[in-house]
Structure 1
Amino acid sequence: MTTPNGYSINSTRSDESEDEEPLIENDAAHPQCCSARLNLAVLMSLGFAVVYALRVNLSVAMVVMVNTTDPEPAKNSTVFHACPLQPGTENTSDHFTQPAGVPQYPWDSETQGWLLGAFFFGYLCTQIPGGYLAGHYGGSIFLGLGVLGTAVLTLLTPLAAQMGSYWLFALRALEGFGEGVTFPAMMAMWARWAPPMERSRLMALSGSGSNFGAFLALPLTGYICQTLGWPAVFYICGGAGCVWSIFWFALVSDDPRTHRRISEEERDYIINSIGPQGTGHGWSVPLVPMLLSGPLWAVILSQMCSNWSYYTLLTSLPTYMDLILHFDLQSNGFLSALPYLGAWIVSNLSGVAADYLIERRVYSVTVVRKLFTILGLLPAAGCLMAVSYVGCDHILTITFLTLSTSIGGITAAGIYMNQIDIAPRYAGFLLGFTNTFGTIPGVLAPIVTGYFTEDHTLAGWRKVFWLAAGINAGGALVYAIFGSGKIQPWAITEEDRAEAEKKRSRSISA
């Protein structure tokens, strides 16, 4: 497709302004409905729903896995409640009732924080190698094995917990090790599958499965814990991951060129619209220019800041609902899930809106990514600050927590897909690189939260929310100044330049 001003949107113009990025040609747009690329996005979304169910189930199950919040209270001390107990919950032992024979463990809040953060120690290790290998070989095998491996390990969680907290820590770290390849593999696949005019909506749909998985897993985990006992949570979630992997390996292909059920029209549309950037990067990557790239570091720092608040709520919100607001387990799971339903809806809408603005050339890719990042981070930070001041007001607390995470979903069309803008061919490797840094908050946030909230006071939780809000705002500022949506010079090969020149000549002659 040529733009209204006569340019092919894959061409590189010497007189192009700083705010305009060369977009990629969309000669004969193939409809998305029932297409192979949309089917891929839906299946990938379901995969990430499973992935996040496997990741967050421990957050809710932890409430009933421990037999007391403070296993060794000081002598002659009284139980302190930061907020008044709700009617009918004066006997807090009801919260921990489990079917006969289900074990519980005397883990203090510090131990719980380490266990909740254990996943991310392993998750850190495989991001970069996973992204590198997925960019070279294709992402389907790595994404599929990442989910399958994590699911199989999840089935062993009750056994590891019975053996001791150190064994459970090691198991969760191994789960993170296996799951670390999944998001880089997703990005590597979309570098070959997503036409540039559809990147935002396809990637938002697939990535938003993580929010949908958290939304389903949190209340279902609470229900399963109360009815079947907490071990059943890990058996059911692990089994779901194994079933999903069967469909994934049977239906998915790394590249539209090798897909068995794609139409010829859709295949040609995808290949022609992406161009040479939709191929593997080989064994070599321009590592030094990447490390010196300002736009890449803007993504890294902003993603770290955004992830701090996300992981804080993901791992610690069920504990806050239980210890501070005193919700019963089923209400805890449902209310903890509401923010992720909002984020799932908002992230998909933001993807559609971003594609609309880019395709209509209302704003450049750079402006769109910055706009959606700022709109996702700053208001979310304000909502977290509000949570710290509403105290024990249940309705306002739930409202602001839901708004914070929901609004944060806007960033799905901002920093969370920026790697594919600045270097499509290396997108999987770059996501592995940025997500390695972005996972550091997943390790630190539960530990810091456990430290601040050791006494289970509102003042301690206020520090947690203030810290998350401040880091969020810092991320918005960094990206607003240094972010970019332009393909970086180190990501462009001679083949890319020759292809761009050929398309520009064809556009001018047309």
Structure 2
Amino acid sequence: MEEHEAQAQAHKLLGQKPQAPPRRPDTALTRTLRSCCVIPQRYILGVMGLLGVCNAYTMRVCLNLAITQMVIHVEKNTTGLGANYTAPDTCPNELVTNATKIVTKPYAIFYWDEKTQGLILSGFYYGYAATQVPGGYLAEKFGGKWTLGIGLLSTALFTFLTPVVIRAGGATWLFILRVLQGMGEGPTMPALMIMLARWVPPHERGFQGALVFGGAQIGNIFGSFMSGILLADGRDWAYVFYFFGGFGILWFTLWSLLCYSTPNTHPYISKKELAYLNNNVTTAENISTKDPVPWKAILRSAPVWALVWAAVGHDWGYYTMVTDLPKYSHDVLKFNIATTGTLTALPYIAMWICSFLFGLICDYCVKKGWHTIKTGRIIHTTVAATGPAICIILASYAGCDRTAAMVYFVLSMALMGGFYSGMKVNALDLAPNYAGSLTSLVNTTSTFAGIATPYLIGLMTPNSTLSEWRGAFWVCFAVLVGTNVVYCIWADGKQQWWDDVRQYGYPPGWKHGSLTKEEIPEQPETIKLADGKE
């Protein structure tokens, strides 16, 4: 391996493409498998990546709906005005008694208030934030296959064991378990970014990115819809965790057999596809990736912090919808649990469809020269931030008009689909060589929105009234719009100099030391543009 790295460095200095590392000789088994595989392996990776992200999000959101059937929800009518009275700040419900109304849930065994529920729902994101950067490091060092696979396997096992843990330790043990689940899912996005950088040529990344990351919406759709079915008719909420935990274990088995970290370590990839990827994927064996991650430059980069702020705003709005829309539909709008599961899935269907539409529009406009990559990222990020911000406010003022409220929620998530062609792929624009590390930084910071949002909403909505939720939605509006303004000012669409300092050199006045293993002999006085056309 050291000999190969030396050869790669020599090719780099001569301006030539590094050669692929030597492969093990074929065996009869690998030759047989290669002859049976008619689908290119990069597309198999894309499909398995989609299912992996889907799996991650189903395990993340299944508690959001299940918790409505775990908790005994008591509403008190202290007015003494009789059974037909409805408080002016709550929506009507058919099952009301003279003094107290208890919704019948045969398997509800916990008296958790809104604050406790919000804390439990936020627990996942504590663990998720903690393993982003370590996950990116492990994926760059050991490959994305096992970093991603083992992480999601651990989450699947924890999900499967959730009913046992809850009944044994209540809210405290459930919170700890959710933290552990988040730790397992932390490496997911950094590992996938690294694998896509190794497997997918630049001109195919738009489609593959939409395919893989669209798994998030499929996971939300599948998780919400199946949870509603599994919980309908008073069924045990434990079935939700058994179902999605088992789905995760099945995915890990297929992932282990079918996917590999790089094309050159795949034992039965076709020789034609391998040659094609080695000739077109510039970051596959790039010697600059052996250098330390240039954190000194990354943390001083304005476009990076613009991306971080945009991610914080997006995650605040997104997690408000993912975590609390089921509660709003069930506790405020008073939908039954089966209807809640179905209606909660509708916004994600809209977001998934529109993400492809926005992606096609953005790529077409850039190709036609109607706007630059930077402008495209800003336009679609703005659509994905201000559009949902306005819609959720309109939904909150729709009051008990269930149809209007759900239309606004669906429209808000549809507009949020612009996120994928906006800031989501901006990390690949800024740093294709360090996409995993940059993604881990962005996700770690933005995940604090996932920690804060459920807990803050739980504090702001102790009685689940319309006015309380309206206040929570106004906070979401302010965060979405404010962070988008920051992104519009400092966003960029070019590869940054620190992503390949060997090629682009240091900027004038750089006084923070070398970013490579060894000093570059001659540094240019002015920085060379990474992409003349942006």
Residue identity in the other structure for 1:430: L
Residues 141-199 of structure 1 show CA distances to partners (whole Å, capped at 9, x for unaligned) of 11111111100001111112112110000000000011111111111111112222222
Q: Pairwise mapping of residues 206-285 of structure 1 onto structure 2 (< 5 A)?
A: 206-227=212-233, 228-276=235-283, 279=286, 281-282=289-290, 284-285=292-293
Decide whether the 8 Å contact of 1:123 with 1:176 is kept in 2. Answer: yes
1:1-42 alpha-carbon deviations (Å, 9 max, x no partner) = xxxxxxxxxxxxxxxxxxxxxxx9xxxxxxxx9432222112
CA contact (8 A) 1:278 1:424 kept: no
From 175, 179, 183, the equivalent of 2:185 is 179
* 1:61 matched residue in structure 2: 66
In structure 2, relative to structure 1, the CA distance for the partners of 1:367 and 1:290 (3 Å cut) is same
The residue that corresponds to 2:147 in the other structure is 142
Alignment-derived partner of residue 40 in structure 1:
45
The 2-side partners of 1:81 and 1:130 are apart by: 49
Amino acid at match of 1:191: A
Map of 2:517 onto structure 1: none
| 1:442 alignment counterpart | 450
Partner SS state of residue 492, structure 1: helix
Is the CA contact (8 Å cut-off) linking 2:355 and 2:417 kept in structure 1? yes
1:124 is paired with a residue whose SS is helix
1:121 aligned partner:
126
Residue segments in structure 2 that go unaligned for 5+ positions in a row: 1-16, 18-37, 506-519, 521-534
- Conservation of the 8 A alpha-carbon contact between 1:53 and 1:237: yes
CA 1:77/1:94 → structure 2, altered by over 3 Å: closer, same or farther? closer
Q: Give me the whole-angstrom Cα distance separating, in 2, the residues matched to 1:325 and 1:111.
A: 21
1:381 CA drift (Å): 1.4
Q: Distance in 1 between matches of 2:136 and 2:442?
A: 10
Give 1:283 shift.
Answer: 6.0
Q: State the distance in 2 between where 1:261 and 1:93 align.
A: 63
Measured in 2, the distance between the counterparts of 1:478 and 1:278 equals 35
> Aligned partners of 2:446, 2:256: CA distance in 1, in Å?
28
* Equivalence for 2:160: 155
Gaps of 5+ in 1: 1-23, 25-32, 499-510
2: distance between equivalents of 1:55 and 1:210?
Answer: 10
Of the candidates 143, 148, 171, which is equivalent to residue 165 of structure 1?
Answer: 171
Q: Distance in 1 between matches of 2:88 and 2:129?
A: 36
Partner Cα distance (1:328, 1:434) in 2: 37
Q: Deviation digits for residues 448-498 of structure 1, max 9, x if unmatched?
A: 111111122211111111111221112221211111121100111436899
1:416 to 424, 438, 452: 424
What displacement does 1:48 show?
1.0
Give CA deviations for 1:252-292 in whole Å, capped at 9, x if unaligned: 11112222343334333333333246647236111110000
Provide the C-alpha distance between the structure 1 equivalents of 2:172 and 2:327, rounded to a whole number of angstroms: 21
Give the superposition deviation at 1:378: 1.7
Letter in 1 for 2:339: S
User: Displacement of 1:420 after TM fit?
Assistant: 1.3
Q: 462, 481, 486: which one pairs with 1:454?
A: 462
When the two chains are superposed, the root-mean-square deviation of aligned CA atoms in Å is: 2.5
Question: Deviation of residue 430 (structure 1)?
Answer: 0.8
- Indicate how the Cα distance of structure 1 residues 219 and 121 shifts in structure 2: closer, same or farther if over 3 A, else same: same
Amino acid at match of 1:194: V
Query: Any conservation in 2 of the 1:69–1:108 contact (CA below 8 Å)?
Result: no
| Aligned with 1:83 (options 87, 90, 110) | 90
Distance of aligned partners of 1:83 and 1:292 in 2 relative to their CA distance in 1, 3 Å threshold? same
Report the Cα distance in structure 2 between the residues aligned to 1:419 and 1:144, rounded to whole angstroms.
Answer: 23
State the match for 2:502 in structure 1.
494
| Alignment partner, residue 312 of structure 2 | 304
**Could you tell me how far 1:75 is from its partner in structure 2?**
7.7
Larger-gyration structure (1/2): 2
Paired with 1:217 and 1:434, the residues of 2 have a C-alpha distance of 25
Deviation at 1:360, TM superposition (A): 4.7
Cross-structure match for 2:328: 320
Q: How far did residue 374 of structure 1 move?
A: 1.5
Structure 1 residue 84: deviation in Å?
Answer: 3.4
Alpha carbons of structure 1 residues 90 and 334: separation in structure 2 relative to 1, 3 Å = farther
Equivalent-residue separation in structure 1 for 2:461 and 2:237 (angstroms): 24
The 2-side partners of 1:82 and 1:50 are apart by 38
Asked whether the 8 Å contact 2:74–2:103 carries over to 1, the reply is no
The corresponding residue for 2:529 is none
> Alpha-carbon deviation of 1:405?
1.1
Give the Cα–Cα distance (whole angstroms) in 2 for the partners of residues 276 and 376 of structure 1. 30
- Please state how far the C-alpha of 1:309 moved relative to its aligned partner: 0.8
CA distance in 2, matches of 1:423, 1:253: 23
CA–CA separation in structure 1 for the residues paired with 2:71 and 2:160: 19
Contact 2:262 2:284 in 1 (8 A): no
Q: Deviations over 1:268-327 (max 9, x none)?
A: 333333324664723611111000011111110100001101101111111111121100
Letter of the structure 2 residue corresponding to residue 454 of structure 1: P
Per-residue Cα deviation, 1:384-441 (whole angstroms, up to 9, x for no partner):
1211211111111000001101210111111112111111111011111100011011
Contact 1:193 1:270 in 2 (8 A): yes
Higher mean alpha-carbon deviation, 345-354 vs 126-135, is at: 345-354
Supply the distance in 2 between the matched residues of 1:107 and 1:129 (Cα, whole angstroms): 34
1:392 aligned onto 2:369: no
Pick closer, same or farther for the CA change 1:96–1:352 going to 2, 3 Å.
farther
Structure 1 residues 268 and 160: alpha-carbon distance in aligned structure 2, compared to 1, 3 A threshold: same
Q: Which moved more, 1:394-403 or 1:131-140?
A: 131-140
User: Is the 1:197–1:359 contact (alpha carbons within 8 Å) kept by the matching residues of 2?
Assistant: no
Return the letter of the residue paired with 1:219.
F
Correspondent of 1:286 among 270, 289, 294: 294
- 2:281 counterpart letter in structure 1: I
Q: Does 1:483 align with 2:491?
A: yes
Report the Cα offset of residue 353 of structure 1: 3.4
| AA at the equivalent of 2:201 | P
Contact 1:81–1:324 (8 Å) recurs in 2: no
Counterpart code for 1:138: G
SS at match of 1:391: coil
The verdict on how the C-alpha distance between 1:179 and 1:295 changes in structure 2, with shifts beyond 3 A counting, is same
Residues 41-76 of structure 1, C-alpha deviations (whole Å, 9 max, x = no match): 121111111111100111100111001246xx6988
TM-score normalised over the length of structure 2: 0.81
Letter in 2 for 1:63: T
- Larger RCO (alpha carbons 8 Å, 6+ apart): 1
The answer to whether the 8 Å contact 1:276/1:495 transfers is no
Instruction: Look up the match of 2:356.
Output: 348
- What amino acid sits opposite 1:374 in the alignment? T
Structure 1 length-normalised TM? 0.85
Residue 76 to residue 321, structure 1, CA distance change in 2 (3 Å): same
